[in-house]
Structure 1
Amino acid sequence: MHVHMINLPGRRGSLHRLISAILLGFGLLMTTGLATQGFMSQELIDHPIWKDLLETATNNALENTLQPVPQKAGRIQVWKLSGDTPAPGMPPLLASLAPGFYNEGDMDRRASSFTDPDYAVLVTSLGKERLVAAIDISDLEQEQNLIALTGGIFLIMNLILIIAVIAWLYVRLHRPVQAIALGMKQLDPERLSQRLPVHYEQEELKDIACGINAHLERVEQFMARERALLDQASHEFRTPIAVISGALDVLARQTLPACAAPPIQRMRATVDNLTEIMVALLYLSREPVASSPDDPVELDRLLPGLIKDHQHLLDGKPVQFSMHIHQTLSLRVPEAMLRIAIGNLLRNAAENTYDGTIAVRLKEGVLSVTDSGEGFDTAQAARHYLSLLRNSTRAGTGKGLGLFLVRRICERFQWRLTLESMPTLGTRAGLDFRAQAVIGE
């Protein structure tokens, strides 16, 4: 049976993706923080305070009338040069500097080796002489480099940890959840005693699988009770139906007024219909088994009798059945199943047609019943039809038994039921048998 499924909205979000995004965001925030820290530490090395200290040292040296002598043990050293020849104890790189201030970055660009000490230098012009003041910040630079290296190692370790956590989540959480979802999709409604595996290392996933299995157990018990009830009810109803059928046989042998014939005929048709329903309920209440196939039913020979059985529904109306059989078609199904499914289409067409013709056509494996009734809006009718199918299974409604049986029959034999209609133009109902094995045409 063909049923249009409702398209559910797409997934609002994946927990695995959400956690991964949070961890990646945390890693990005950490990277930004460490980069900011490194930038600020570099700014500290290039701080203007070094220029102020060197200017103070230069002024102190100028106030001293004696030749400034470098303080070997101090951080700040001052040399007085008259040419490009380095003073004793003076790094050669400083002797060639022009007047001005040179921070650590400027000196790094002039250094010939990475192993050279790091200086902040202030060169003051004294006419033909220069006063060179330098402060050694090598230990501060080394400490800053060590902090940057430690921060980089810490960042790399955290990024590796984040990637490892994301991979762990995928392996330990995402894939098992996908396995549970795939297992649920692979459950066959026609096969009972199916269960999901519960051997998961994670207790949460194990609880989910056990909960699903418990629900499947309850559904299976409910279906067993439903089948038992249908089976018992069908057997119980057989006795009164047999009594009524016997009474009708007795009445048929009596001499009755002519006006009593139509009611007795309708009673006989109703009893036959109830008998078929009981047979269908008994058949559908049992699980399908791969036993010997049913005897073939020749649908092209069955149709005339079915149309004749429903002829009384057109009494008093200017409506007639029109039969068009373009093929011979045999199906290995119980005859009662075909009678109920096709009879439901004929009955609906007869009850909703008040003038014109009901065309019954068998062609290319499809049985169609087309009436000349008022028709209906297809979308609205589809919603109403699905609502009837849902309500037909609710306890206590007592409505939609025919639709319920047609639905179950179509599901059992993989037939496809279609409804096509236009307002004021009539309705076409079709049963497509091509999905099931067809024996000859």
Structure 2
Amino acid sequence: MASDTASPRRKLDPVTGKGERRRAPYRRRLRSRIIVSFVLLGFCLTTLFAFATNWTRARVENQLVEDVMNRNINEYAKRFAADPSRSPDLPVQQMYARLVRPDKFEALRQEQPDWYNLNDGIHGVSGVDEGGKPFSYKLAVRKTPDVWFFLAYDMTESIRGESQLNRALFFSVLVFSVLSLVLGWWSASKVMKPVSDLAARLRAYRGGTSEPEPLAPRFPDDEVGQLAQALDDYSARLTEVVQRDREFNADVSHELRTPLAVIRGATELLLTRPDLDPKVLQRLQRIQRAEQQCTDLIGALLLLSRNERGQGSSNVARVSEQLLDSHRAQLGGKPLELILEGNHDLVIDAPESALSVALGNLIGNAVKYSKEGAVRVRVGNNAVEVIDSGPGLSEEDAAKLFQRGYRGTHAGHSQGGGIGLSIVSRLCDLYGWQVNVRPGVERGVIATLTFSPA
């Protein structure tokens, strides 16, 4: 089974065209989202239930108390009407009854101004007494021209009970929220276990066999099983594509290396003849260099196709001199000087084929676009610079230079498919190198190839 790992999105660098890693936005894990959903559901439901319970209790209690007070104050008024000479007995304990005759109205105004101003009905009264203790009661009022009736029902104990109920409801909300958290964690573990097992099996696979073990038989026929079946189908198609790619690479390597080996053998045999004409010798040497470049390019492309690093070490100055010699033979009458400068002892951990392809493309572009002047290859301690005297670099070229198939604004009708610098970029990714192209001080372009530490 071949696996494809999703990488963070990349932002193109305006100079190199290579991807600059940008951190993906944080996303909460699915397990955490399930747990949070359970907690929120439990909290919201228990809070709503607590609110509904408290509201219902208050409404029912208030209705019951008002019904009782209405009945008792009516009964109180009837008893007074039956015998106005004496104060009627209080029909229900826990209530305080009072009647005020007309000659006591003014005294009531002075003593209880709140009661004096109340209209008929039931009113809620609350406050703090002289001792600093809170009180609350409901007051039923009946006013007639002959007498005023007041009936008070103490609600202090009821308010205390309401406070205790609220604390109990608050505690219940906390308890049920914790239970929801536990239930959510347990449910998430149960729900996510098949998905985690599937992910673990995918991570454990490293492509060691051409026929990977199917995933679907290990999972039940549910959504996870359907996902495993889809992954098996995708794996089969991807494995087939990879296998065809490997076979194609092997066939291409064999079919191309065979004629190149014939060309190399014939060229070396002809070069051993002592009576060669100088022009023929020059052409044979050019064929030999072209064969070597083609061999290096095939080797580098095969390494890129397999995403493998080749083994070996290379002297950067020696490879650069070989590349410059190859281009000197192709200059014709172009007034261009090719110069090698700097450190001749820099050795990197990479085969000459990979270095030749990467550095050869940079030197080839410099020679192609420089009509006159000089192309300098300057070898440093851990990098090599290719400095040309060409027309320079535009902003559009700088942004797209390393994209596959892109040809610069100065390419004109020159040969090339615009894939050379793309290959350089891929080789840099493979070996951990860095490539940078920037405009020169006055004119031309400076291409820098920086090697990774050994």
Q: TM-score range by the shorter chain?
A: 0.5 to 0.7
1:415 to 433, 439, 445: 433
Q: Which residue of 1 aligns with 2:58?
A: 42
Q: Go from structure 1 to structure 2 and tell me whether the alpha carbon gap of 1:22 and 1:216 turns closer, same or farther (over 3 Å shift).
A: same
Q: Distance in 2 between matches of 1:187 and 1:375?
A: 50
Map of 2:354 onto structure 1: 337
2:249 maps to which residue? 230
Is the partner of 2:295 in helix, strand or coil? helix
Aligned match for 1:373, one of 379, 390, 405:
390
In the alignment, structure 2 segments of 5+ residues that lack a partner are 1-15, 102-110, 407-415
Aligned to 1:87: none
Q: Which residue of 2 aligns with 1:24?
A: 40
Equivalence for 1:432 = 450
Secondary structure, aligned partner of 1:314: coil
Which whole-Å deviations, capped at 9, do the CAs of 1:288-311 have from their partners, x for residues lacking one? 599xx63x4332333322211121
Please tell me the residue identity of whatever aligns with 2:326.
D
What's 1:318 paired with?
Answer: 335
* Percentage of identical aligned residues: 21
User: Structure 2 vs 1, CA of residues 105 and 25 (structure 1 numbering), >3 Å: closer, same or farther?
Assistant: farther
- Equivalent residue number for residue 409 of structure 2: none
- The answer to whether 1:242 aligns with 2:257 is no
Q: 1:270 aligns with which of 290, 312, 316?
A: 290
Look up the match of 1:60. Answer: 78
C-alpha separation between the residues in 2 aligned to 1:249 and 1:39? 102
Could you say what secondary structure the match of 1:420 adopts? strand
Distance 1:325 1:422, change over 3 A: closer
Answering whether residue 377 of structure 2 is matched by residue 356 of structure 1, we say no
Q: 1:97 to 1:413 in 2, by over 3 A?
A: same
Contact 1:230–1:281, Cα closer than 8 Å, also in 2: no
Alignment partners' CA distance in 2, 1:427 and 1:266: 27
Deviations 1:361-382 (A, max 9, x none): 0112101111121222356434
Deviations 1:183-204 (A, max 9, x none): 98x899xx744999x8999976
How many Å separate the matches in 2 of 1:287 and 1:14? 32
Shift of 1:151: 5.5
Deviation at 1:136, TM superposition (A): 8.3
Q: Distance in 1 between matches of 2:258 and 2:337?
A: 36
Moved more, 15-24 or 52-61: 15-24
Q: Which residue of 2 aligns with 1:406?
A: 424
Contact 1:377 1:423 in 2 (8 A): no
CA drift of 1:97 comes to 9.1
8 Å CA contact retained: 1:358, 1:371: yes
Structure 2 Cα separation of the partners of residues 55 and 219 of structure 1: 89
Cα distance change of structure 1 residues 166 and 383 upon mapping to structure 2, 3 Å threshold = farther
Structure-2 separation of matches of 1:405 and 1:220: 25
Secondary structure of 1:430's counterpart equals strand
Query: Is the alpha carbon distance of 1:214 and 1:232 closer, same or farther for their aligned partners in structure 2, counting shifts above 3 Å?
Result: same
Measure the CA separation in 2 of the matches of 1:40 and 1:404: 74
Does the CA-based 8 Å contact 2:314-2:349 persist in structure 1? Answer: yes
Map of 1:89 onto structure 2: none
Q: How far off its partner does 1:178 sit?
A: 9.2
Could you say which residue in structure 1 is the equivalent of 2:182?
A: 164
Letter of the structure 2 residue corresponding to residue 363 of structure 1 = G
CA pair 332-38 structure 1, distance change in 2 beyond 3 A: closer
CA distance 1:380–1:97, change in 2 (3 Å): same
Q: Which residue of 2 aligns with 1:3?
A: 18
Distance 1:262 1:288, change over 3 A: closer
Q: TM-score, normalised by structure 1?
A: 0.65
Q: Report the Cα distance in structure 1 between the residues aligned to 2:192 and 2:420, rounded to whole angstroms.
A: 45
CA displacement, residues 247-277 of structure 1 (integer Å, 9 cap, x when unaligned): 5567765988877676655444322322222
Residue 402 of structure 2 aligns to a residue whose secondary structure is helix
Q: Separation in 1 of the partners of 2:355 and 2:98?
A: 115
Q: How does 1:1-400 map to 2 (within 5 A)?
A: 3-5=18-20, 7=22, 10=25, 16-17=32-33, 20=36, 24=40, 27-28=43-44, 31=47, 34-35=50-51, 38-39=54-55, 41-42=57-58, 45=61, 49=66, 53=71, 56-65=74-83, 67-70=86-89, 100=115, 106=125, 120-122=138-140, 133=151, 155-168=173-186, 192-193=207-208, 219=238, 222-245=241-264, 248=267, 266-281=286-301, 294=312, 296-377=313-394, 380-388=397-405
Distance 1:103 1:149, change over 3 A: farther
Are the counterparts in 2 of residues 54 and 121 from structure 1 also a CA contact under 8 Å? Answer: no
2:378–2:385 Cα contact (<8 Å) kept: yes
Equivalent residue number for residue 392 of structure 1: none
Question: Structure 1 residues 79 and 276 mapped into 2: Cα distance closer, same or farther (>3 Å)?
Answer: closer
> Is the contact between residue 378 and residue 421 of structure 1 (CA under 8 Å) also seen in structure 2?
no
Q: Which moved more, 1:97-106 or 1:42-51?
A: 97-106
- Tell which deviates more after alignment, 364-373 or 203-212: 203-212
Change (3 A) 1:145 1:68: farther
Consecutive unaligned residues of structure 1, counting only runs of 5 or more, are 83-95, 390-397
1:307-359 Cα distance to aligned partner (Å, 9 max, x none): 11121343232221121123511234322222222212211211122222111
Secondary structure of residue in 2 paired with 1:228: helix
| TM-score, normalization by structure 2 | 0.63
